[in-house]
Structure 1
Amino acid sequence: MSGLVLRLAGPLQSWGERSAFLLDRDTAPFPTRSAMIGMFAAAEGVPRHDTAALERYEDLEFTVRVDRPGTRLVDYHTAGGGKPRDETAATSGGSNKGAAVITHRHYLTDAVFVVAVTGPDTTTDHIAQALHQPHWAPYLGRRSCVPDEPLLLRTRADDPAAELLHHVPLSPDPARPAPHDGTVPIAFLRERPPLSAQDEADVVTVQDVPRSFDPHGRRHDRRRLHRTVEHLPARLAASPHALHDRLIDYATKETAA
């Protein structure tokens, strides 16, 4: 098995975890498994009602590196106001609301995550091809959240999780502590206990394993995540003016042995 390395960055991201169709629409502080699989399925052209197609993603394992956690933003959002009743938003019963729909939508601003995706070569190869030529464009949790480039940093990486530890350039973060002893502390989220974490992992439970994306029957199961702080080489930290060149260099060249 090998895998992919993706960089999720942009002005806005929103990784809804518990609040589909509610008036207060939250965001998790990191990319959810549901959102990542939804991105891959959309790129491959899988319809939302094709629940059986989700089985192809069950063997994927995700490791998330938090380069920059971002700042939470809440948007006061309205839709459908100032129109005749029959032109306002529809209700689940088939009528119309007759007034504007008001929601509070949560976003992460200026966040950066690097994600290692490990799985069978046939699966990750199809995902990589789809991300290069997507059926439906990828987005960072919501359609309004457009990803920066480069999105796909590496395909067929022998050990994608190790790439996050040793090779992928770190995006700058003004809030990050200065390097100490040649290392910088970076948060990670893993689906299995790390073997070499310097600090003991915190275990968190999230309900983001997609079983159906059907709008009339969304279903998600729980999974456990292991959150650690890893001390990465300070040489990975890129300055703002050099970051893009370093990312392009990493994406286009094989990592030195």
Structure 2
Amino acid sequence: MTGLIMRLAGPLQSWGERSAFSAERDTALFPTRSALIGMFAAAEGIPRHDTAALQRYAALEFTIRIDRPGVSLVDYHTVGGGQAKDKTAATSGGSRKGAAVVTRRHYLADAVFVIAITGPRKDTARVADALHQPHWAPYLGRRACPPDEPLLLRTDAADPVGELLHHVPLSPDLARRAPQNGIVLATFLWERARHQAPTSADTLTVQDVPHSFAPHSRSHGKRRLHRTEEKLPATLADSPLSLHRRLVDYATKEGPS
């Protein structure tokens, strides 16, 4: 089992969890499994209606390190309006009211997530190749949310989770959260309970396992996540170099970790 390491950062992110096209377009507080698999499928050029193709991602496991949770932002948004009924936007039910469709879209501003993707080498290598030369460009939940660079930090990590715990550079602002004895705390989200479900872990239930991305028949299943606070070495954040320089140096390091 090998894996990838991705860093999802940008001015805005939005990871819809419950809402379809409705008045309130929500966001989860972290990248969802559905959104990550959707990003990979888009990079590989898989159309939304190809439900069977989603099985190729079933063996992938995601571990998320929350470097910066971001700030909630709500955008008042209108679609259509001021035109004849047959030329205006359709509602989620398919009807056209001839008036503007009003929505409130929720975002995470200035958030940063580093994600370890673990799975069979044939699967992680295929995803890595697609992300290097994507068929459709990746975005952070919505097309209006482009990612910062570097997006893909490593494609050949022998122990992706170990990289998150010991090697991937941290933002300096995380180190400012009362480091003690050379240690800083970071929130992790695990798909599998680490070390046999530690008692300190919170358990979350989310409905973000994609069964279908087809526009008129989207469906998702549930999964459980385990949230822990992990002790990381403060040296991951304490450096005279800029964070971008450290990320580029880490991403261009030769050979597997």
Q: What's the TM-score bracket when you normalise by the shorter of the two chains? A: over 0.9
- Amino acid corresponding to residue 75 of structure 2 in structure 1: D
What corresponds to 1:40 in structure 2? 40
How far off its partner does 1:34 sit? 0.3
How far off its partner does 1:84 sit? 2.2
How far off its partner does 1:87 sit? 1.4
What corresponds to 1:65 in structure 2? 65
How far off its partner does 1:220 sit? 0.4
- After TM superposition, the structure 1 = structure 2 runs for residues 1-257 of structure 1, keeping only pairs within 5 Å, are 1-91=1-91, 95-173=95-173, 176-195=176-195, 200-237=200-237, 242-254=242-254
Given that 2:184 and 2:231 are in contact with CA atoms closer than 8 Å, whether structure 1 keeps it comes out as: yes
Given that 2:19 and 2:26 are in contact with CA atoms closer than 8 Å, whether structure 1 keeps it comes out as: yes
Q: Residue 173 of structure 1 aligns to a residue in which SS? A: helix
Higher alpha-carbon deviation: 177-186 or 9-18: 177-186
Unmatched runs of 5 consecutive residues or more in structure 2: none
Given that 2:81 and 2:88 are in contact with CA atoms closer than 8 Å, whether structure 1 keeps it comes out as: yes
How far off its partner does 1:90 sit? 2.1
Given that 1:68 and 1:172 are in contact with CA atoms closer than 8 Å, whether structure 2 keeps it comes out as: no
How far off its partner does 1:240 sit? 9.3
Given that 1:15 and 1:29 are in contact with CA atoms closer than 8 Å, whether structure 2 keeps it comes out as: yes
Given that 2:5 and 2:114 are in contact with CA atoms closer than 8 Å, whether structure 1 keeps it comes out as: yes
Q: Residue 72 of structure 1 aligns to a residue in which SS? A: strand
Q: Residue 86 of structure 1 aligns to a residue in which SS? A: helix
Higher alpha-carbon deviation: 76-85 or 105-114: 76-85
- Amino acid corresponding to residue 157 of structure 2 in structure 1: A
Specify whether residues 93 and 58 from structure 1 end up closer, same or farther in structure 2 by C-alpha distance, changes over 3 A only.
closer
Number of residues paired by the alignment? Answer: 257
Unmatched runs of 5 consecutive residues or more in structure 1: none
d(CA) in 1 for partners of 2:225 and 2:235?
Answer: 28
Q: Residue 172 of structure 2 aligns to a residue in which SS? A: coil
TM-score by length of 1: 0.95
- Amino acid corresponding to residue 201 of structure 2 in structure 1: A
How far off its partner does 1:82 sit? 1.8
CA RMSD of aligned residues (A): 2.0
Higher alpha-carbon deviation: 26-35 or 169-178: 169-178
TM-score by length of 2: 0.95
Higher alpha-carbon deviation: 62-71 or 94-103: 94-103
- Amino acid corresponding to residue 189 of structure 2 in structure 1: L
Given that 1:5 and 1:157 are in contact with CA atoms closer than 8 Å, whether structure 2 keeps it comes out as: yes
Output one character per residue of 1:38-82: Cα deviation in whole Å (capped at 9) or x when no partner. Answer: 000000000000000000000000000000000000000001022
Specify whether residues 205 and 211 from structure 1 end up closer, same or farther in structure 2 by C-alpha distance, changes over 3 A only.
same
- Name the % identity: 71
- Amino acid corresponding to residue 139 of structure 2 in structure 1: Y
Given that 1:185 and 1:232 are in contact with CA atoms closer than 8 Å, whether structure 2 keeps it comes out as: yes
How far off its partner does 1:96 sit? 2.1
Q: Residue 135 of structure 1 aligns to a residue in which SS? A: coil
d(CA) in 2 for partners of 1:248 and 1:114?
Answer: 14
d(CA) in 2 for partners of 1:160 and 1:243?
Answer: 20
How far off its partner does 1:94 sit? 5.2
Specify whether residues 33 and 94 from structure 1 end up closer, same or farther in structure 2 by C-alpha distance, changes over 3 A only.
closer
Higher alpha-carbon deviation: 230-239 or 107-116: 230-239
d(CA) in 1 for partners of 2:152 and 2:180?
Answer: 30
